[in-house]
Structure 1
Amino acid sequence: MIVSKDVVSEMARFISSKDCQSIIFLTGAGVSVASGIPDFRSPGGMYDTLKPELITATSMQRKMMETDPTSVVYKDMFLQNSFPYMEVRRPFILGTQKQKWKATIAHRFMELLHEKTDKLTRVYTQNIDGLDHQCKKIPKEKIINVHGTLSEVACENCSEEMDFDEFCDKVSHNIKDIYEIDENAPSASTPIVCPSCGKATVKPKTVLFGSSLPSEFFDCSDEDVMNADLLIVAGTSLVVFPANSLVYRVNDDCKRFVVNMDAVGQELGLNFYGNDYSTINDRRDFFAKGPCEDIFLDLIDKLGWMEDLQRMSKQLPPASASLLRDDA
C-alpha cells in the first residue's frame, strides 16, 4: 500500500514540476477540524445531541426530528416552519459573522498554492463554514461551495438576496437561543420575513436536503475534470454524491492525492496498492494518512513555503498556530 513517509515529498516534487499545471481540490470537514467548528454528524455532534423539545415546532415536527435529526435541514420542513433550521443554526450563523472560527493550515495551503504557483484551478468544498473565503488571495470564482455557505443569505422561496450583516442582526433579535449561550437572545422566536416575497424563508445559502446543488458545481467541474493534472482530496469520507464524482470524472492522466485519517474512495476507483509501480510517473493514486493540518504543514515545508505560512500565524486558529510553533 503506497502510504510511505515519502509520499508528501513525491507530491511536493510533482506540484513543482512542469507536468503539473492544473490542480483542483475536493475538501470536507477534515480541513476545518482545527478551527474548532462543532461537528454535525459524529457522535456527540449537533445531530446526535439535538433536543427537539427545545425547538419551536409542532408535535409532529418534533417527532420527525426525534426519528431523524437531519430533518431540521430538509427543504420541506424549512418551507413549513423555518424555526428549527434557524434555531439550530443560530450560533453558527452569528459565529460566522464574527469570524469566531479561522481558516486552518489546510486552507492556507490552498491560498499559498495559488499565490506561489498559479496552479490552483478550483476548490470544491463540501463545507458550509465559509473558511475558504477568509483566504482573500484566492479569487472568489475559484471557490465552489458545493453544499452552499453560511456566509451568504437569500430567500429560499424567491431567491432575493439579503445583506449578511443585516440578516445576522435579525437573527440576533428574532431567533431564540436553544443552546443558552446568548443571554441577550429573545425568549421566543419570531419570523424573519423576506422583504421581496413576504415569506419567512430567508436563510443562509446552504443547500437543504431536497434542493439542487448550485449550478456552478456542474458548470465548472465539467471543464475542470478534463484539464486537471492533480486532484487533492482532503478531509472527506467521499460518500456524498455528486461531490465524490470528481474522483472518477477526472481524466486518466490526472494524479489523485488523498489526505485523510483513513484510506477512502476505493469503491470510486482509487487504488493505493502498488503492484507494478516503481516511480512517481507510474503511480496515479497516493494516500497520506493523518490529520490534514499535519500533512499540509509537511507539504508546505517540503515546498519551501514555511516563511510565508509563518507570516500568517496570527490569522490561524489556536490549534494550528500551536502546531506551527511546535514545528519551528
Structure 2
Amino acid sequence: MRALRLSHHKKPSLVEVPTPEAGAGEARVRVHMAGVCSTDLHLARGYKGGFEGTLGHEFVGHVDQCPDAPEWLGRRVVAEINVGCQRCSRCEGAVGPNHCGSRQVVGILGRDGCFADWIVLPIGLLHAVPDDLPDRRAVFTEPVAAALRVMEQVHVRPGARVAVLGDGKLGQLITQALLSVTTPTLIGRHPAKLAIAEARGARVALGEEEWGTFELVVEATGTEAGLREALARVRPTGTIVLKSTFHGLTHLDTSRVVVSEVTLVGSRCGPFTPAIEALRSASIDPEPLIDAVFELEQGPQALQRAATPGVLKVLLTTGA
C-alpha cells in the first residue's frame, strides 16, 4: 500500500509498504480521507525528537477487516488516537488511556498513522459515522473533539466573556464550539480568517485592538507571545486554557499568575461522540476552513501547502 512516511533526518515521502493485517482486538480501516494537522508539520520538522513512521491522525474510512468483531465490517468510522496499555492504573482508572505512561499516539508517538491506504487500530478506538455525515466533515472529528474538551474541563457560563487567541484551524473550531454557550471573541492577525468566525456569529479582533480582560482565555497559538498575551488578557481569578503544545521551553510570569490567582489548564484530546453530533447537526461547520484537497500521491505537496502562511485546512484523499 501507499504511505506518507517520515524517516529520521529525511523529509516526508510517499513509499510502498506492506498492507497491514488486523490482529486480535484490532480493525483494519480503509482510509477515505485524512486531515493535515499542525502537529504533522511540527513532526516533519523534528518535533518530539524525531518521529519515524506514517504520519497523520485525523481520518475517516471504512472497516474492511475485523476478525474479533465482524459487526464493524463495512461501517464508516473515525477513531481516537491514544492507545493505552490497558493494564496500568491510569488505563483502568479515571485518568484513562489518554494519559497512560506507555501509550502510543497514532501518527505521533510509536504507532503508524493514517496518511496511507490502510490503518490498523484497536477496536475500542472506533466510532461509527452516521450516514448523513459526509467524509469532508467527518474527517474533522478529532480536532472538533479537542475543541469541545475545553468545555469539559472549564465551566463556561452563558454570556461569559471569553477570548480565543489564534485564528488558525484549532482556534476557529474552539470559537465555533464556544458559540453554543456564549459569544466568544476570536483574536488573530488575519482579517480573512477572522471573517470566517465573524460569519458564524463570533466577535473578532485584530491582535493590536484593546478589548479589555476576559474571565476565560483559550490560548491556541502555541507560541510564547500567545502565552504572554493570554496572561495580559485574563482578568484576576480568571482561567487560561492552554490548547496548543509549545515547541521548546517557554517563559511565564508566574508572579502574575500567583498575584492575580489565575488558573492554568492544560487541554488536549476530547470527546468523540459529541464531536460527531456537532458535525452532523452543523452546529460546528468546518467547510469554510478547507483550503485544498490533495490525492495521497501528492502527499509531500499537501504538507507544503499546509505549511504555507495563511492556509487553514488541507485534506488528503485516497480515492477509496
Could you tell me the TM-score, scaled by structure 1's length?
A: 0.35
Which structure: greater strand fraction?
2
Highest relative contact order (Cα 8 Å, sep 6+), 1 or 2? 1
Structure of higher CA gyration radius: 1
Query: Whose helix fraction is larger, Structure 1's or Structure 2's?
Result: 1
